[in-house]
Structure 1
Amino acid sequence: MTDSVKPRAVRAADKRRRLTAAAARVLHEQGVERTTLADIARVADVPVGNVYYYFKTKDELVRAALSEHSAYLDELTGRLDRLPDPMDRLKGLIEAWVGQREIAARYGCPTGTLAVELDKRTDGILDAEAGAVIQLLLDWVGYQFRVLGLPDPDGLAVTLVAGYQGMSLLANALRDPDIMTSQGARLVDWLDSLR
Structure 2
Amino acid sequence: MATRGDTKRERLRDAAVELVHRQGFERTTLADLARETGIPLGSVYYYFKTKEAIGEAVVSARAAGHRARLAEWDELADPRRRIERFIGMTIENRDGLAQRGCPVGTLVSELRKNGAPLASSAAAIFEDVLVWLEQQFRQLGQGRRSRGHAERVLAALEGATLLAHAFGDASYLDREAERLKEWLRELAPK
For this structure pair, what is the TM-score category when the shorter chain's length is used for normalisation? Answer: over 0.9
Correspondence list, 1:100-115, <5 A: 100-115=93-108
Alignment CA distance shift 1:44-1:149 (3 Å): farther
1:36 matched to which residue of 2? 29
Correspondence list, 1:14-163, <5 A: 14-123=7-116, 125-151=117-143, 152-163=145-156
* Residue-pair matches, total: 187
What whole-Å deviation, never above 9, does each CA across 1:53-90 have from its counterpart, x for those lacking one?
11111111111111111111012112211111000000
CA distance in 2 between counterparts of 1:45 and 1:143 reads: 44
CA distance in 2 between counterparts of 1:138 and 1:130 reads: 14
**Percent identity over the alignment?**
40
Q: What RMSD over aligned residues (CA atoms) do the two structures have, in Å? A: 1.4
**What amino acid maps onto 2:130 in structure 1?**
L
Extract structure 1 runs of 4+ deviating beyond 4 A: none
Length-normalised TM-score, structure 1? 0.91
1:169 aligns with 2:162: yes
CA distance in 1 between counterparts of 2:37 and 2:177 reads: 33
**What amino acid maps onto 2:87 in structure 1?**
I
